[in-house]
Structure 1
Amino acid sequence: MKASIEDKVQTRIPTKHGEFILHYYSNSLDKKEHVAFVKGEVAGKEDVPVRIHSECFTGDVLGSRRCDCGEQLDMALDLINTAGCGVLIYLRQEGRGIGLLKKLQAYNLQDQGLDTVDANIKLGHLADERQYDIAALILNSLQVRSIELITNNPLKIDELTKLGIKVNNRIAIEARIHQDNLEYLKTKAERMRHMLSMPDSK
């Protein structure tokens, strides 16, 4: 069955990053509530700044310092606001697709010495199980012609390109490195090919 989405409602959301329009989508793939946060006119536009942000309850909502997710979310919205137009797609695929329960279990394994990749694998999952089909459908629904993707993850660029999205450029989005997220970011850079500026380990 071919995947499909429906833009069910749009509503104005004023934020500290300016005013956005929130689009709520239903879809044929899962029962999750994926949304797009849109700034300005993006239909028919080229090189639209786009952040595809996977849900992180602990980072986005609680401000956890174990990851860079909450800070990246804030930075992306600020960047889009400064650009005057853009899209933040919020996908409900917690914990790189393994769900909140397994992510929290993975945190405990990390506290026992495993990195984020090995913790996921020990729990019977892949290092990253996220999919971007719905993100591609949302960008098509918004009639975005090409994008500048706000990401450090080359896999995300590859996956979107395979799905027919024209990615003309990458915009780096690097959060602050501190003691609580250092090992997490090192694993992203060394084992998941994320393009990050890591300090020398001397």
Structure 2
Amino acid sequence: MKKYISPIEDIISEASKGNMFILVDAEDRENEGDLVIPAEDANADIINFMAKNGRGLICLALNEDKVENLGLSLMSSNNKSRHETAFTVSIEAREGVTTGISAHDRALTIATAISGNTKSTDIVTPGHVFPIKARPGGVLVRAGHTEAAVDIAKLAGKNPSGVICEIMNDDGTMARLPELIEVAKKFNLKIGTIADLISYRINNDHIITRVQSEKIESEFGGEWDCIVYKNDLDKAEHIALVKGRINSNDVIPVRVHSVNIFEDLISINPNRKNLISKSMDLISDLDSGIIILVRDTNDDALSNLLKKYSGNNLKQDNKLKEYGVGAQILIDLGVKKMSLISDTNAMPINLEGYDLEISDRQPLEDNN
């Protein structure tokens, strides 16, 4: 399947040319896909194409500023949808439309909504176009098609808005990657992934700031430099514990740890208890190294984790963001080569864009 996925740079190039493309979450045959195009290029022909060949709901992805400028309220003040998609009330252009549902009318409504000259009085509700508010920070905060459409439009130098439409099969089921590939071949469309977009933005956007540094004394490993970093996008703070002198020419032992209150403090999972203290003891024995403690800052992080442990097994897919934050902290600390302390071989982001190299790996559990 990988050979049918275009680099995100090619997707951005397509957007800059005003071309439509398909966007999926990742290179996974179970993924659903959306037709996506910068909103400023969504003319009547494009809307008609989406209605005929996408068959899903045609939506307008807008940034927060535009939603506020148009005075649009959220469709629900208590969003309980599976992915917390931030639909606003539906809209229509006040002037120039008839029923509002035709391809021409919907294209006109979209053009009116995204115009820099539009006032809230130029739009009426309800209507036949469905705006969705993208989260500030884009895919680095929420890995959704809404955020991806806005991010790609911005990266392409376009109006920061996009039109998206889910792709369905002829029988009404959702098209998965094998079917999406056939759609792409039929209409000469490129396929990109949100995962690649996240990696691209992590590699190209500087998102962390060092805010405080103090020496601390711990039961585990003695003295450490404790450095607090802030994520400029979601304002969350993360910690780097540094032992010894960090020389960019050396291979530095590194542990990137996603803080989990249930495992790290309550020991709900006996197989993963005391990982932080074990890491600190290991690095102390090695005389130098870094532990990065990354927090999950999603609003529902704790409740989702609790559901997972109670048997609901909800998928938590924050690794891209966590490793991206960790990588930028390592760069700030002067790391070039690392010995990664981990019991898995997973590495969800491409470190080459950071000029970081994993020279070797060492398991944590085998050292205890």
User: Fold-level match, TM-score > 0.5?
Assistant: yes
Following superposition, the deviation at residue 67 of structure 1 comes to 4.6
CA–CA separation in structure 2 for the residues paired with 1:105 and 1:171: 31
Within a 5 Å distance, the mapping from 1:12-161 to structure 2 comes to 12-16=215-219, 17-62=221-266, 64-93=267-296, 99-109=301-311, 119-120=313-314, 126-130=315-319, 131=321, 132-156=323-347, 159=349, 161=351
- Indicate conservation of the 8 Å contact 1:3/1:27, yes or no: no
Gaps of 5+ in 2: 1-200
Give 1:70 shift: 3.2
Separation of aligned partners in 1, 2:297 and 2:272: 11
Alpha carbons of 1:12 and 1:35: their partners in 2 closer, same or farther (altered >3 Å)?
same
The Cα of 1:76 is off from its aligned counterpart by 0.8
State how many pairs are aligned.
Answer: 160
The higher relative CO (CA closer than 8 Å, separation ≥ 6) is in 1
| Cα distance, 1:98 vs structure 2 | 6.7
CA contact (8 A) 1:136 1:160 kept: no
- Please say which of residues 37-46 and 139-148 is displaced more in the overlay: 37-46
Q: Is contact 1:133–1:163 with CA below 8 Å preserved after alignment? A: no
Q: Relative to structure 1, is the Cα distance of residues 77 and 45 closer, same or farther in structure 2, using a 3 angstrom cutoff?
A: farther
Match of 1:167 in 2: 358
2:239 alignment partner AA: V
1:65 Cα offset (Å)? 4.2
Change (3 A) 1:34 1:68: farther
Query: Distance between the aligned counterparts of 1:91 and 1:67, measured in 2?
Result: 21
**Alpha-carbon deviation of 1:74?**
1.6
Residues 1:171 and 1:144: Cα distance change in structure 2 (over 3 Å):
same
Question: What SS is found at the alignment partner of 1:8?
Answer: strand
CA shift for structure 1 position 60: 1.5
* Percent identity over paired residues: 26
Distance 1:170 1:12 in 2: 28
For the Cα contact (< 8 Å) 1:49–1:149, is it kept in 2? Answer: yes
SS in 1 for 2:335: coil
- 1:4 and 2:207 matched: yes
Calculate the aligned-residue CA RMSD, in Å: 2.5
User: What is the CA distance between 1:145 and its match in structure 2?
Assistant: 1.7
Cα deviations across residues 102-156 of structure 1 (Å, max 9, x unaligned)?
010111126xxxxxxxx11xxxxx4543221110110000001210000022223
Q: CA distance change for structure 1 residues 155 and 15 in 2, over 3 Å: closer, same or farther?
A: same
TM (norm. structure 2) is 0.40
**2:252 touches 2:337 (CA, 8 Å); kept in 1?**
yes
- Whether the aligned pair in 1 keeps the contact of 2:209 and 2:232 (CA below 8 Å) is no
